[in-house]
Amino acid sequence: MKKRTAILISGRGSNMAALIAAARDPAYPAEIAVVVSNVPDAAGLAEARAMGVEAVALDHNQFPSRMTFELALHGMLLDRGIDLVCNAGFMRLLTAGFVNRWFDRHLNIHPSLLPSFTGLNTHERALFEGVKVSGASVHFVRIEMDAGPIVAQAAVPVLEGDTPETLGARVLVAEHRLYPHALALVASGRAKVLDGNVVISGTQDGREVLFSPQLA
C-alpha cells in the first residue's frame, strides 16, 4: 500500500513539484494526497493543482493561536487518511503538539549539510564560513528547528566566485533528487529511526549520501 503523503509549503514549491513528479511512478511507495500552504497565495498551490493534486490554503493568520492553526491542519490531514507529512519550504515553526502527533512520520528538507547552518540565509553563511562542500539534508522533524534524525544528504561543491544565488541554485538541483529519494526510503519502510539515528536497510553501512556528479 502506498503511503498517503501530505506536503506542507509556504512558497514556490519546487521541491513539492519534484515529489509529485516522482510519485507518479506506479512503483513509487508514496502517493501525494494533498498539498497545504499556510500562505494563501503561494505559487506552489497553483502548481500542485496543475499537476493534478488537491491543494488547500490554510492561512495561519486566520487563527487566534498556533495551537488552533495546528489543530485545523491536523484535522485536515486526518480527514484525508494521511500517513506521512513532508515539509517543503514550509516557513512556519510547529509546536510540540503537532510534532509529537507526527513523530517519525514527518520530514523536512533543509538546504545545508546538517547540523551545519540551521535556520535562514544558509548559503550566505556557508559562503561566509568558506566551506568547500555544501548540500542538502532530509531529516525527521523534531521540536528543535532543522534538527532531527537525518534520512539522507546530498553534497555539492562550493565553487570559486559562488554567490548565495549560484550556490543555492546548485543545492536546489540536488534537493530535487534528494527529497524524492528520501521520501521513498521512509515510505517503503527502509529508513527507520534507531537510537536517535536513521538506519537504512539494504545498504552496506545503513547510510545514504548522494554526491553531485562533480564530487563523485
- The verdict on 11 binding ligand GRF (CB under 6 A) reads yes
Residue closest to ligand GRF, measured at CB:
89
Based on the residue annotation, tell me whether 110 is a catalytic residue of this protein. Answer: yes
Which is the catalytic residue, given 60, 74, 106, 110? 110
Q: Is 88 in the site for ligand GRF (CB under 6 A)?
A: yes
| Shortest spacing between CB 138 and ligand GRF, in angstroms | 9
Q: Which of 106, 110, 123, 139 binds ligand GRF (CB under 6 A)?
A: 110
Return the number of the residue (44 or 149) whose C-beta is nearest ligand GRF: 44
177: amino acid identity, one letter: R
Size of the site for ligand GRF (CB under 6 A): 15
Contact (CB, 8 A) for 168 and 123:
yes
Phi, psi (rounded to 5 degrees) for 12 = -70, -30
Among 19, 83, 111, 113, binds ligand GRF (CB under 6 A): 111
Residues 6+ away with beta carbon under 8 Å from 25: none
State the CB neighbour count (10 A cutoff) for residue 39: 20
Out of 13, 135, 149, 180, which residue is the one contacting ligand GRF (CB under 6 A)?
13
C-alpha cell recorded at residue 95: 509546536
Using alpha carbons, list the distances in angstroms from residue 207 to 33, 88, 197, 203. Answer: 28, 22, 10, 7
How many CB atoms within 10 Å of residue 74? Answer: 16
Give the nearest distance from C-beta 103 to ligand GRF in angstroms.
20
73 binds ligand GRF (CB under 6 A): no
Query: Which residues contribute to the site for ligand GRF (CB under 6 A)?
Result: 9, 11-16, 88-89, 109-111, 136, 172, 175
Active site residues: 110
